Structure 1
Amino acid sequence: MGIRVLLGRESRNVPLLRRVETVAALSAEEREALLRVPMSVRDLPPRTDILCEGERPETCCVVLSGYAIRYKIGAEGDRHIIAFHVPGDIPDLQSLHLAVMDHTLASLTGMTAGLIAHRDLHDLNLRYPRLAGALWRLTLVDAAVFREWIVNLGHRDALSRTAHFLCEMHTRLASVGLGNGDAIELPISQTDLADALGVSAVHMNRTLQELRARKLIESNGRMIMARDWSALAALGEFDPAYLHITPHERADPA
């Protein structure tokens, strides 16, 4: 795994800024401060544990490219995916204040991870209270997504769960500029989806076939297109309010 350090203006392309600006409007000074946070960058192969349950991290991980997952292992060794993370997300931001990891964070695809030392984030929060508020808001959004996932798993059938999940991922990717009209890149296997949505891999396959048969989605390799967004959202009872994406005018970094 290669490790390199990004400092200052070299880091302007890091998706972290774009993710933070989905929940808060930042001043030019705050953007610059966020871009100048020192970051060690690691290139990870697919399905590599980044932080394991029980560890005590001293950094927070930013997904710069690729996809990450959070998961737990059940008593019988079965894996339960509890979250997917896209570029710009900080999956372990709670480790700033919760010392011990209570789940495992891993790359799902080939992934570039940015590691920011806790001490640098604490310093950033002290110097820029509005940035501290924005980062806190991201952790609250995480909690809102978990609540919605509880409803999705406990209330909806497999077809509706899958429709809801696809609408969520489309909305999250589009919010950070990674959507392509009605299509998104979703390099997630049927086994991964099954582990997240609480069904067997065979049932997951049948569910996706049913969505295609209803002409709600179309897939081509890693790309999934919503052919009828309104019908897909209605089937999944999807309301994006829980994602708390705040529209505002985003200015490019100076």
Structure 2
Amino acid sequence: MASVESKAALDLLVRRLERIGHLSDEERRAVGNLPAKIQTLRPRQDIVLDKEKPEHSCLLVEGWAYRYKLLGQGRRQILSFHVPGDMPDLHSLHIKTMDHSLGALTEATIAFIAHEALLDVTRRFPGLAGIMWRETLIDAAIFRQWIAGMGQRDGFGRMAHLFCELYCKLEAIGLAADHRCTLPITQTELGDALGLSSVHTNRVLQEMKAQSLIELRTRTLNITDWDGLVQVAEFDPSYLQLAQ
């Protein structure tokens, strides 16, 4: 019999998939019956490493996670941030060797679901396979936005876009409201995500505060001028497919 923790995790997965596409009652039951191993990770603990060949995908149940790539001389590029409901390594179902690492940003509860079980349920329910495929396409759309930002936005615009993106994702799962949300990301991690030095990251944050766009204190982001931040970021949330 599934534990209370794994049942709650799979209920979260059902809700996540239903934001992407319609599930039949039978498909909901199939997802709810997936075997899930629950584990709590420390902040900054790795979940899966570059070059590993994982046999499971992970569902983020509580806390935050991040994808990253280590380069020479200890340089790190953060590739994305993840919030509850995300399956940041779902692609490992079909791409067997990881080409980046995935770690817990905060203390995080993770549900590990075996690839064998996920593949079985997608074979039995092609509709579910389509929804999971759509999930990876949304991931790709987020990557394209980050690439466009790195190439064409200045540091101010990049940070504004990231804050808008994270707020919208958190609001969609009920973890943000009134343009206020938790933001457990250090300035170093912001710099590693946005391609900015620590000095430049701090300067951008101070400029945003000076323009009364945001307040940032005690791991909490308060967007005091949402329309202004959206305009600076040229932010259009349609790529997140939250309307589903």
Q: TM-score, normalised by structure 1?
A: 0.91
Task: Give the alignment partner of residue 227 of structure 1, picking from 221, 224, 227.
Answer: 224
Q: Gapped runs of 5+ residues in structure 2?
A: none
Bigger helix fraction: 2
Letter in 1 for 2:133: W
- Number of equivalences: 243
Find the residue that maps to 1:199 and give its secondary structure.
coil
Contact 1:7/1:37, CA 8 A, preserved across alignment: no
Alignment partner, residue 90 of structure 1? 87
| CA distance, structure 1, for counterparts of residue 9 and residue 39 of structure 2 | 17
Aligned letter for 1:92?
Answer: D
Which of 177, 186, 193 is residue 189 of structure 1 equivalent to? 186
* Corresponding residue SS for 2:122: helix
For each residue in 1:124-175, what CA deviation from the matched residue of structure 2 results, as whole angstroms up to 9, or x when unmatched? 1112211111111000111111111000111001111100000000111111
Contact 2:168 2:237 in 1 (8 A): yes
Q: Secondary structure at the match of 1:109?
A: coil
3-state secondary structure, aligned to 2:102: strand
Does residue 128 of structure 1 match 2:125?
yes
Say if 1:23 and 1:137, in contact at 8 Å, map to a contact too.
yes
1:164 aligned residue:
161
Deviation at 1:8, TM superposition (A): 9.9
CA contact 2:14–2:32 (8 Å) conserved in 1 = yes
The answer for the alignment partner of 2:205 in structure 1 is: 208
Shift of 1:91: 0.6
CA distance in 2, matches of 1:23, 1:17: 10
Displacement over 6 Å in runs of 4+: none
Is the Cα contact below 8 Å between 2:60 and 2:108 reproduced in 1? yes
C-alpha displacement at 1:85, in angstroms? 0.8
Q: What secondary structure sits across from 1:106 in the alignment?
A: strand
Contact 1:60/1:90 (CA < 8 Å) preserved in 2? yes
Show structure 1 runs of 5+ residues with no match.
Answer: 248-254
Q: Distance in 2 between matches of 1:143 and 1:241?
A: 13
Distance apart, 1:236 and its partner CA: 0.5
* Counterpart in the other structure of 1:250: none
1:211-237 Cα shifts (integer Å, max 9, x gaps): 111111112311111111111001001
- Given that 1:6 and 1:41 are in contact with CA atoms closer than 8 Å, whether structure 2 keeps it comes out as no
